[in-house]
Amino acid sequence: MSERVCRLIVALSVLGVGIAGYLSWVKLTDTEAVCGGIGNCSSVQSSQYAYIFGISVAYLGLLLYILLLAVAVYNLRAPEAQRGWSELAVFGIAMTGATFSAYLTYTEVFLLKDICPWCVASFINLVVITLLAMPAILSMPEPEIEI
């Protein structure tokens, strides 16, 4: 992964921390989210789909973005020989988040029949990070296995 791409992933991760941090703050303080007249963030965030094992998905999103940011920053600072695992981790974390976020977006639109623009922005952000990380994964050499 080039340094330019990695810096872009760091910037997008910071954006994600901002989005998920705002949604976490809204959840924690039980305040009304500012949705700009688009959708109803509160109904989405208070639905049965907004929790996993009693934990708000906003908190899980914040944790995901913090982890993504930490691994991407590590990747920027690590020697090139040690970047393989962090590139794979960035892709895996982003892909996992994007997949789960796709499910949540589906539930918003088709089950709740409402939308949270912050959630959609986070979903798009994760998809972009995944796409940026993908070429590094596809160009990784296959591991040598001795039999």
Fold classified for 3-138 = de novo design (two linked rop proteins) (1.20.1440)
Q: Is the dihedral of CA 54, 89, 145, 138 positive or negative?
A: positive
Q: Cα torsion for 48, 42, 115, 55, to the nearest 10°? A: -40
Q: What span, in angstroms and rounded, lies between the C-alpha atoms of 57 and 62?
A: 8
The pLDDT profile of the chain, 147 residues, written as one tens digit per residue, is 888 999 999 999 999 999 999 999 999 998 888 888 888 888 888 888 989 999 999 999 999 999 999 999 999 998 887 888 889 999 999 999 999 999 999 999 999 998 999 999 999 999 999 999 998 877 766 767 777
Q: What is the DSSP letter of 49?
A: G
Contact 118, 25 (CB under 8 A): no
CA angle centred on 45, ends 95 and 131, rounded to 5°: 15
Prediction pTM value: 0.89
CA angle centred on 55, ends 110 and 122, rounded to 5°: 50
